Amino acid sequence: MRKLERSACAKIILCGEHAVVYGRPAIALPLSQLRAHAHIAAHREPFEIFAADLGETLSLTTAPVAPLVRIAQLACEKLGITPPDARLELRSDIPLGANLGSGAAVSIAVARALGAWAGYEFTPDEVSALAYEIEKLHHGTPSGIDNTTIAWEQPVYFVRGRTPELLSGVYVAALPIVIADTGRSTPTHVPVGEVRRAWESAPAHFERIFDAIAVCVHEARLALEVGDLPRLGAALNVNHELLQSLSVSSPELDALCAAARAAGALGAKMSGGGRGGNMLAIARDVAHAQHIAAVLRRAGAARVFHAK
């Protein structure tokens, strides 16, 4: 029986979330050890998708507008094929609702699997564009940073509407980062929508906050380029304070950030949409990262991940 597999990684926003929707830069990192996997195999019945983590089977007839079905339709349209007589099974290591890009990763894995089935490997730009259409369903007005970072699987300096700039170098690759999930999930479109409404009511005030976040991103990039971890940590601490001023943090996120700093983290901040989800901390080195991870577990983190 013919079988193929393709996958896509998770991502973490290092800095710049929310402001990135308003034209400011952001930096995101891939998390290659956390992946969504799409297995496709020949099937005697019409095309269907089995989402193993959800225990759901979807088809073009039973769930034509479901995001998983829609990405399959878009990929087939791009390939110029009809959906094959095949069964596509999805399994993911990426926690749902943790702001780690689960939705974009699953979309990209599905598209890649269908492309491989048709004998075609989508380019990062192609698969990113396909996934962005599904991100609109999930988030309303997404920035595009999730699908871009995941499609390229490289650190990305991202400004909406511009060609993403891929970051490389030893300091990015070896960054001692710890990620902790609060275990609480809020759909990204909720805080994004609330920030939008607040911005509409007081645009000048919120533009100043977005400008200040952009300064943090600039500082973070300069710190990454020279491997200055204390400078990077300081920029992330300020970024978290600015996100608090947007009212997108939460008591759980603030508590984990405080615990990380008390354990000696050079910087700590929420990451992603907020109101739950995850935070990240910058350690001095790998051993220190392990210590911070243990502290975050004791502080109530539901899950703790290492970027490396």
Q: Which active-site residues does the annotation give?
A: 146
What are the CA-CA distances from residue 262 to residues 257, 282, 287 (Å)?
9, 12, 16
In whole angstroms, give the CA distance from residue 111 to residue 179: 28
* Helices (H) then strands (E): counts for the chain: 10, 11
Instruction: Please tell me the distance from the alpha carbon of residue 24 to that of residue 12, in angstroms, as a whole number.
Output: 17
Give me 258's structure tokens. 């405080």
Q: Within its chain, how far is the Cα of 273 from the centroid?
A: 10
Residue 49 to residue 34: CA distance in whole angstroms = 21
DSSP class of residue 181 equals E
Q: Using CB atoms within 10 Å of the CB of residue 2, give its burial: 0 to 12 exposed, 13 to 18 middle, 19+ buried.
A: exposed
